[in-house]
Amino acid sequence: MEGEALRIGAAPFRAAMEESAVLRALLYRYALFFQAQVTMTAACNARHAIEQRLARWLLIAHDRAGADEFPITHEFISMMLGVRRPGVTVAAGALQRAGLVRYSRGRMDVTDRLGLEAASCECYHVVRWEFARLLGTDGGPPPG
């Protein structure tokens, strides 16, 4: 997705970490969150149906996009979920028929967020809870 990013060199970053205990603690907690998210994603990909995994992944993308409509292709989703592209097409079609999303030519539109949450496996909410626990937020979308 399009967006803005900030960059800092390694040496100034190390210096900032050494100088600020608050920054250091925050980054350590974020590293713990990221590890939990990666672990949960691996388990989710091994245990849940593609429709549930797609719903979870679209919720994550929706959080980060900050809008109901965002650019995303079936090819990219297939890489992220570790499945073949036709499987994404079938799963996305099921979500669209249920009225949860609309998609066409690289654009996804979340039309029923609560329905998409219900279609997702529990992994989405577990990761959001872990983010809130480790980083002290309301469980809103993680950065990135």
pLDDT for residue 90 = 95
pLDDT for residue 110 = 97
User: What is the spatial distance between Cα 52 and Cα 75, in angstroms, rounded to a whole number?
Assistant: 18
The answer to whether 17 and 27 have CB atoms below 8 angstroms apart is yes
| C-alpha 77, offset from chain centre | 11
Count other C-beta atoms under 10 Å from residue 10's C-beta.
7
The answer to whether 1 and 107 have CB atoms below 8 angstroms apart is no
Give Cα separations from 127 to 6, 13, 33, 54, 71 (angstroms): 25, 27, 8, 15, 23
pLDDT for residue 11 = 97
Which of the residues in the chain have pLDDT under 70?
Answer: 138-144
pLDDT for residue 138 = 56
CB neighbour list of residue 24: distance below 8 Å, 6 or more residues apart: 17, 18
CB neighbour list of residue 78: distance below 8 Å, 6 or more residues apart: 84, 85, 87, 88
Q: Which CATH class is domain 49-120?
A: mainly alpha
pLDDT for residue 68 = 94
User: What is the spatial distance between Cα 40 and Cα 86, in angstroms, rounded to a whole number?
Assistant: 24
Rounded (10°) angle between helices 74-81 and 50-65:
110
pTM: 0.82
Q: Which runs of consecutive H residues, i.e. helices, occur in 20-142?
A: 21-47, 50-65, 74-81, 85-97, 113-119, 123-135
